[in-house]
Structure formats: C-alpha cells, structure tokens
Structure 1
Amino acid sequence: MKNSVSGVRAPNLVDALAGGWVADSASLGLHWLYDSQRILEVGGASPEFLPPKAEYFRGGFGYFAHGGKEAGDISHYGAATGVLTDSLLANGGRLDIRDYQRRFRAFFGPGGQWQGYIDNPTRVTLNNLDTIERKAIEQARATTTVSLTDQQRRILVQKVLPYTSRLSGDQLAEPVRKAIDLTYHEAGVQEAGVHLAQTIDRYLLRESGADDMQLPAVSKLPPLVACYCGHDDLLEKTEAAVRVTNHNDEAVAWARCTARLLEAVFQGKPMSVALDAAASEAPHPDPLHKARSGDSLDPAGAGNTFGRTCYLNEAMPVIFHILAHADSFTEAVRANIHCGGDSCGRAWIIGPAMAAIHGAGGERGIPLSWLARVTDAPAILADTEALMTSLS
C-alpha cells in the first residue's frame, strides 16, 4: 500500500530534497577544515563547489578526507542518504529495515559501490551486521534437529542467506524450499533449511548501529521524513531508521528533533514555527534557544560558541543558528561552509530546510546553476522525483 504525503505537495518536497544534495556537494571541498579564517583565505565570499585539495588544509587545523573526489561530488553523507532513498523507492515510500540494512551493507561493504571515506558509524554498523548474521547462523545450526552432514549444513546456510537478507517471516518457506530442492530433494533436508532460514530471520536484529551520537544519525533523514511527513508514526520510523546505523538514545533524541524540524518546513510552516517544534523534542534545548538569539548571522561565532565537530550536541545549535538567521539558500550554504568543521553533515539539514522554505530558483531559492554542478544530478533528481511520485 502506498503512503500519501500529508499537508504538502510533492513538487515542494522534490525541491527540498534537492537542497540536501546541492548543499552537501557545495560543501565538500572544504569539509572538515575547522579554521574559519583559513576557509575565508581559500574560498573567500563564495567558498562553494571547490575541488577537494589537501593544500587548502595547510596552515589551518583540519582533516583532509576526500582525496580523489572532484568538485560537484557528494560526501559519504550523501552516499548514505542515497542508500536510504533507494530502499524507500524500492518499497513504495515505506521503510523496510531488512531491505535498508541489506542495501547499506551491499553499498558500503566489500565489493560495494562506495569509494571514499568511511565514517565510524558506517564502519561499526558493517561489523555489527556481520556479527549479527554470524550469531544468527550459529543459533540456527544449534537448534536444527535433522541429522545433516557438515557439507549439507554449509550448503543450506549458503542457500538460505540470500533470502533472509530480503525476506522475513512467512515469506521465507516457499522460496527457501525451492532453492534447496535444486540440490536436495529430501523433504527432511528442505525442512531443515526452512528452520535455518526462519531461525536466522528471528535473530537478525533491527538495531545494528554503532553506539554513536554523530551527524550520520540524522543526515540521511530528509527522504524518510518526506515519505512519512504528517503521519502519526513519523517518529517511530525515524527511530527505527536511525538505530540501523546509530544505536544510541541521544542520537535518537536528536533525530526526533530533526524530524520535527523537517516535517514542519516540508508542510510549509514558517521557519520559526519549525524550530520551535524541533526544540521541543531536543535532549538539550537551551543551546538551541541561545543559537537563535541575536539579530545577525555569524557562522564563525556560532562555531566558536557551540563547536564545529560531528557530534550532534555541537552541530544542531549551529544548524539552528544558520536556519534562524539566513535569508536565502545561498546565504545559508555559504554560512555553513564558513563556519567550518563538519559542513557536509550539517548541510543535509540546512539544505533541505532552506529549500523547503524558498524552493528552487529566484533570489532566495536553490541557484539553478548550482543544481547543474552536482555530479550525477540528472540521476539523483530523477530518483527523487520518482520517490515523491510513488507517494501520490
């Protein structure tokens, strides 16, 4: 059954989600350069879409992580958002945790498509998924009552794993029997295989993430919030998705804050109303209120006050400061880069929120020329449009 987007038109959501891709790509060249003065020296007033170069980091504190990338490429944050987008698109806008885990593992794991930096939550999640699967197999083998040879046990596991990675519950029995019947016709062996599959299925945990409260917990949320915008189970789905990569209570609390922020702007509410709604879910609201105070946009000052690292307790006040004070998408993205530090991670909240308010084009929206500078923009935007269309 398809979801329906409550209280917002799909074209507005396409603009909003496009804002995340653009803001991430625009920030990549100076990502994780923590020295705001050095950022000004390198990028001046227009620091967006610079090619990642190690030389930019000389003379300022930072970590150069994106060697081999080019201007317009996305970060690992964008890559992870793409994985969740693909999973949502494959399931008609519905969150399927098993499918999401499988795609995440296939994309970032050995032999996967991703070439680039791997953050701590991703690395630990990949290890956890391997461990969870191994323990599930051990449990299944230990409870199998049919007498099997060692070779049969190995082959049965090989037969069932492709199905437990994408199916669950009652969906397993018939395809597993058919797969085993290609090699073993005996009913007992087939039933042993079904038992293996169903037991593995029961022990594959949905909470596969790292005990980590950094920005990867929330950066991939925009497409999920777009799919569940206005639905009663938005926060439940948010938590389920976050715990796939960040199994941490505070990360989940910041994710709830983020989901309420994005939901409100996706529904066309004013930024001030969205920030109020988000702060009510925050585990530490006082820094958020402080970040909104004052009359002027001061990204370097916000970084000095709240911090520039990947941790959510530092990043969210900076995000609130920029969203509360920036008057356009361009101004917000540039301010985010000028702040320094984890600009790509913050971009995935700032970009969609500002694009939801101001759209694409015009004086305040996403510059159309910036859309064209994102690597693989046609494919990315086509998937975004297809996802939003699937909700109508």
Structure 2
Amino acid sequence: MSSLTALLEKAFALSEVNQRKIGCLVGAAIADAASRPLHWVYDLSQLDKALASSPETPEFWPESVSPFYSLPTGENSCYFDQAYAVMTSLKNKKEYDFKDICSEFEKQLGPGSRYDMKAREEYMQLRREGRVQGPIKGKWLHGGMIKFFDNMKAGKQFGDSQIKETDGFCCALPVVVKYAGDSGLMDKVLQVTKTQSTWPVAVSHALVASKIVEAFIQNEADVFGSVKEAIKLDFPEIYKELEMIESIHSTPHVQAVGYVFGRPCYNPGSFMGAIHAVQTSTGFEDAVRKTIKAGGCNCSRSFFIGAMLGAKVGIKGLPVSWIERTTYAEDVLKNAIEMI
C-alpha cells in the first residue's frame, strides 16, 4: 500500500464533517494544480491552440503555457501555497495564532523560499519596456503577499487598499475549514484576509466566500440560497451578484467569464465566475475544466471551486487520479488530517 493510499484510507475513516473539511482543502489544492499550467493565459486563441490536441481534458496540461511563469505540471500556484502556509501554522500550533501565521508566510513565501523576487522584478521591468522574452522559471509571488512583506518590515500587519485580488480569501480558507460553525470564525477570516488587502470589495467577497464554504462544510441543503438570504442586509451588492449569476445560467461559461464576469484575478469577477461554474456543472471535474478553458486567472477561480465542491462531496468524492497528479497532494492530505 502506498503512503498516499494509506492517508486516503485514514481520511475515509473520519467523521463525515471531517471528510468534508479534508475534501475542501484537498479539492482546492488539486483544482489549483490542475489549472496551473494554463494560468494567466488571457488570449483565448492562444489557449485554444495550446489545447488543440485534447480540448476536453485541459487539466494538468503536460507543458506550461503561462506567459508569466513556468512550473512542472502538478505544482501549485501561489494561491494554494499561501493557504498551505496557514494550514502549517494551524497544524503546528493546534490553535489560531495570528503572529505565527504571519511568521509562516515569511518562512514559506519570503526570502530564501522558492519565491525568487529578483526574477519576478526583472520580468516586470522587461514587460514595462515591452521586451518580455518568456516566462520566468519558478514560482510567482502575488502582489498582496509582496505588500504584506513590505508592511511587516514597516511594523504593520495589514494589506494594501489597492490590492483587488482574491488572495485574502485563499489565505483564510484553512481557518474556515478548522473553525467552521464557530461564532468567532469571521473575525479570524477578516484578520487573515487583511494581511493581503484592505480594499472593501476584496474583503467583503472574502467574507461571503468563506460563508459559502462554511455552509458546504456544514452540509446545508441549499447553500447558495441560505447564504444569499443571510447576507442580504450586510452585503446587498453581493446579494445582487448572486441573483445575477442565477439569471445567466444559460450563458455558456466561457462567454459568461469573458463578457460578464471578467477573466482577471479581481473581485467581484473571480468570485462570480467560480460560482457560475459550480452552479452550471455536473460535478468537480466539469467545473474545473470549463474554468481552465475560460482563461485568465483560472487558478484563483479553480481554488474557490475546488474548496466548494471538495467540501460538498468530501474527500471520498474527489477524483483520485487528480490527487495522484498533484505534486504535493500527500503533504496537503497529511497536514489537513493533522490540522482539523
């Protein structure tokens, strides 16, 4: 018996709620890894050309097509790596320790880690000059985490009001998993989210995304319906967004992302695109595949999709072949079991 198989069997023996918690984290990891080779391809003609040999199975594409950075197939983007740092802290400390979470960010994504800021800075300078010659080889650190490190040096612990991406939610996901159902959950989510961004739209969408994942973990019968009603007064704009998503279920997903929600990493588009994929798909694989083919920042949307559907189906419902193709799935699974 392989070590991965042994870990899966250990997870299968847990309570149903803990299986959903494990499924949530592993689902986010494998969905992100499945999308990574085609991350940030905004030119759909380029994306379609790259997928021409097998357009129905874009997951774990054998070669990296991302114009920004190149990694071996099976590795995760920064979206999941940030979540993994928080998982590590929760596992090691056995409790929520904000200072330790910040320390873990530095250990896993800061100087001396696989995140080479020099290569990224050189790429961005060439891009500004119109002289880009190809993607960097290695990890790509996101703007929210760069600002976090700058703030830490300055003695601050909050993100930047100009950061519009979904990184705050991604960082907070393990906190949602561990403390789902606890009255103090959203205070913790808010604190972790603000390490990356204080932009009100990014923060509000992180909170609502966390409520959605929490509802899936708690196995609510009508997750989107119940969350929509629960946020109506506090987050009226997001309530309208959820209504809008339901109104365009008949719009093909690639079209919905391209012409309605947008392909970039920003909210509300990333949030809405992920939910549209979940609500219009037959299952986990279908939702991630259509998200990959919609282009742009598919990793951030896939992360959220994997978290939602992983929590819905639990670890037993995830595709084992995808788990096997995710480079660090065994570490994620082991840490998730120890963390909860």
* 2:311 matches 1:359: no
Q: In the aligned structure 2, how far is the partner of 1:267 from the partner of 1:66?
A: 37
TM-score, normalization by structure 2: 0.81
In structure 1, stretches of 5+ residues that fail to align are: 1-6, 57-62, 133-204
- What's the CA shift string for 1:232-286, capped at 9, x where partnerless? 1111111001111223332211111111110101111234335525764546322
SS of equivalent to 2:86: helix
Q: In the aligned structure 1, how far is the partner of 2:177 from the partner of 2:217?
A: 7
TM-score, normalization by structure 1: 0.71
**Higher mean C-alpha displacement, 303-312 vs 268-277:** 268-277
Aligned length: 297
Matched-pair contact (CA < 8 Å) for 2:262–2:269: yes
Q: One-letter code of the match for 2:24?
A: A
Residues 366 and 71 of structure 1: is their aligned pair in 2 closer, same or farther, counting only changes over 3 Å? same
Task: Quote the residue 1:125 is aligned against.
Answer: 148
Residue 35 of structure 1, aligned match among 43, 58, 69: 43
**Higher mean C-alpha displacement, 283-292 vs 232-241:** 283-292
SS of equivalent to 1:227: helix
Q: One-letter code of the match for 1:49?
A: F
Residues 95 and 213 of structure 1: is their aligned pair in 2 closer, same or farther, counting only changes over 3 Å? farther
Residue 68 of structure 2, aligned match among 62, 65, 70: 65
Structure-to-structure mapping, 1:223-372, within 5 angstroms: 223-269=174-220, 270-273=222-225, 276=228, 280=232, 282=235, 284-285=237-238, 286-296=240-250, 298-303=252-257, 304-360=259-315, 365-372=317-324
Q: In the aligned structure 1, how far is the partner of 2:271 from the partner of 2:39?
A: 17
The higher-RCO structure (CA 8 Å, 6+ apart) is 2
Matched-pair contact (CA < 8 Å) for 2:171–2:192: no
* 2:78 matches 1:76: yes
Matched-pair contact (CA < 8 Å) for 1:25–1:49: yes
SS of equivalent to 2:69: coil
SS of equivalent to 1:312: coil
Task: Quote the residue 2:56 is aligned against.
Answer: 45
Structure-to-structure mapping, 1:174-213, within 5 angstroms: 205-208=156-159, 211-213=162-164
Identity of aligned residues (%): 24
Q: Compute the displacement of 1:121 (Å).
A: 0.8
Matched-pair contact (CA < 8 Å) for 1:212–1:248: yes
Q: One-letter code of the match for 1:291?
A: I
- What's the CA shift string for 1:318-350, capped at 9, x where partnerless? 112112111200011101111111111112210
Matched-pair contact (CA < 8 Å) for 1:336–1:346: yes
Q: In the aligned structure 1, how far is the partner of 2:93 from the partner of 2:236?
A: 32
Task: Quote the residue 2:135 is aligned against.
Answer: none
Q: Compute the displacement of 1:123 (Å).
A: 1.1
Task: Quote the residue 1:387 is aligned against.
Answer: 339
Residue 23 of structure 1, aligned match among 4, 8, 31: 31
Q: Compute the displacement of 1:214 (Å).
A: 0.8
Residues 329 and 116 of structure 1: is their aligned pair in 2 closer, same or farther, counting only changes over 3 Å? same
Larger Rg: 1
Matched-pair contact (CA < 8 Å) for 2:164–2:197: yes
In structure 2, stretches of 5+ residues that fail to align are: 1-14, 116-137
Q: In the aligned structure 2, how far is the partner of 1:305 from the partner of 1:345?
A: 17
Q: Compute the displacement of 1:36 (Å).
A: 3.5
Residues 128 and 352 of structure 1: is their aligned pair in 2 closer, same or farther, counting only changes over 3 Å? same
Q: Compute the displacement of 1:294 (Å).
A: 4.0
Q: In the aligned structure 1, how far is the partner of 2:263 from the partner of 2:236?
A: 19
Residues 100 and 289 of structure 1: is their aligned pair in 2 closer, same or farther, counting only changes over 3 Å? same
Matched-pair contact (CA < 8 Å) for 1:260–1:277: no
Residue 88 of structure 1, aligned match among 87, 90, 97: 90
Q: In the aligned structure 2, how far is the partner of 1:231 from the partner of 1:367?
A: 30
- What's the CA shift string for 1:139-198, capped at 9, x where partnerless? xxxxxxxxxxxxxxxxxxxxxxxxxxxxxxxxxxxxxxxxxxxxxxxxxxxxxxxxxxxx
Q: One-letter code of the match for 1:292?
A: E
Q: In the aligned structure 1, how far is the partner of 2:328 from the partner of 2:97?
A: 26
Q: In the aligned structure 1, how far is the partner of 2:58 from the partner of 2:227?
A: 27
**Higher mean C-alpha displacement, 286-295 vs 229-238:** 286-295
